[in-house]
Amino acid sequence: MDSAKPQCGGSGTGEDYPLGLHVGGLFAVFAVSAFGAGFPVAAKRIKWLKMPPKVFFACKHFGTGVLIATAFVHLLPTAFGSLTDPCLPDLFTEIYPAMPGVIMMAAMFLLFMVELYLNAKTGGHSHGGPTGTTVTVVQPLPRPQRPFPETANFNHSHTRNDSSVSDDYDDVDYEKAMARELYEKENKPHAYSYEQDSNSSMPAWFVVFYEQYIRQRSEMMDMIKSTQYSNQAVIDDKPSPEVSQSSFDEEGQTIDQATYKRMSMNITLLEGGILFHSVFVGMTIAMTTDGLVVLLTAIMFHQMFEGLGLGARIAAVPYPRGSFRPWLLVLAFGSTAPIGQAIGIASRNSYDPESALGLIMVGVFNSISSGLLIYAALVNLLVEDFLSEEAQHLMKKKDKIAALCWIGLGAFGMSVVGAFA
């Protein structure tokens, strides 16, 4: 006989709830989170705090390792542990225990679709087509081959790759036919028949002259159409209002519009995945009484490492000079976990994280966050840093080795912290 399903719900926080310690922990977590995310941004944008490039390089890649470890070591185990708790309905424990993985996969696909849509709107960058060849929009037309005088006639065709200019070549064929008709009439006035003599050969000097005319006319048409396409592309690619107002970043360098839009989009999606789980991190702290000091210390290291990685990525975005957006992103990260703590403190007598609702909420949101972080860390960070065309030109072999070492160190450090938080 099967044992009875256990009941969800904990014993509550109890009457000896250390309210003062929790309130102090709230401000401590805010200070550590804001400092971790804000220091790289301040060092990049405040002149007297200029951070050496090597230090910024280390922080950037150390943070990448932290974010990857956060997804795999902290979020995924918590999601599976919450949604497979024996007290939950059989849908989560017996029928489909892989539910956290499905939610994570759905979040990854959704993020990919969002990024695909935004890339189509803002313009992305290409490292080559999907078949390994670079996709070009305007193909140069092949120059017509000059026929040998012995076999030259005006029935040979000039192939075109661009179907949009087929009408132009109809005009050319018509002109050739008229020229041939005129020549035949002048040289064979009594025996001329256009239909019967359609394959008659032309003199070599006439072929050379007319082939040169055809070639020059084709090149001119190609140049006109290419110029029209380029002008249309410039008109369609209008700059965003923020970039129009300020075309230079804090270092006085010109902002590349496509790069700015792409990096701004990536950092927004990355922070969105982090903020999801930060609320529940704060609520977990607020609901803890036993071992609170150990958990609070581990969470502070967690927020410091995570903020350092996020802040380095925010600082790398070429925001226009005087923009407040990077500081808003820092403030959002610094305040999210404390907001979760405040919610947990206020609802400590009514909200039970061990209840069925609490377990499902934590499991679902951690699954979503892990999917967002895994996609953002692997696709938008690792691929961009090591496999992009820009990285191939800017990073030498020793730089890549150093970056991999910092990534490994960040992942290791966060994995150790994950054992306590």
Residue 20 has pLDDT above 80, yes or no: yes
Q: CA 62, CA 47: separation in Å to the nearest integer?
A: 24
Residue 27 has pLDDT above 90, yes or no: yes
Q: Is the per-residue pLDDT at 104 higher than 90?
A: yes
* 223-235 core/surface letters (b: 16 or more CB in 10 A; e: else): eebeeeeeeeeee
Contact between residue 331 and residue 33 where contact means Cβ atoms under 8 Å apart: no
DSSP secondary structure string, 233-287? HHHHSPPPHHHHH--B-TTSPBPPHHHHHHHHHHHHHHHHHHHHHHHHHHHHHHT
How far lies 44's CA from each of 41, 109, 290, 312, in Å? 5, 34, 41, 9
Cα distance from N-terminal residue to C-terminal residue, the chain: 37
Query: Which of 233-237, 300-304, 416-420 is least confident?
Result: 233-237
Could you tell me the CA-to-CA distances from 218 to 141, 153, 169, 172, 183 in Å, in that order? 8, 19, 9, 9, 23
Contacts of residue 159, Cβ cutoff 8 Å, sequence gap at least 6: 142
Q: What is the mean pLDDT of the chain?
A: 75
List the single range of 127-136, 149-158, 263-272 with lowest mean pLDDT: 127-136
314: Cβ contacts below 8 Å, ≥ 6 apart: 37, 40, 41, 267, 271, 326, 329, 330
CB 199 within 8 A of CB 153: yes
Is 366's pLDDT higher than 80? Answer: yes
Dihedral pair phi/psi, residue 349, rounded to 5°: -95, -5
Least trusted range by pLDDT, from 8-12, 240-244, 375-379, 384-388 = 240-244
Q: Is the pLDDT of residue 407 over 80?
A: yes
pLDDT at residue 242 tops 90: no
- Tens of pLDDT, residues 167-217: 444 555 666 666 666 656 655 555 444 444 444 556 666 666 777 777 777
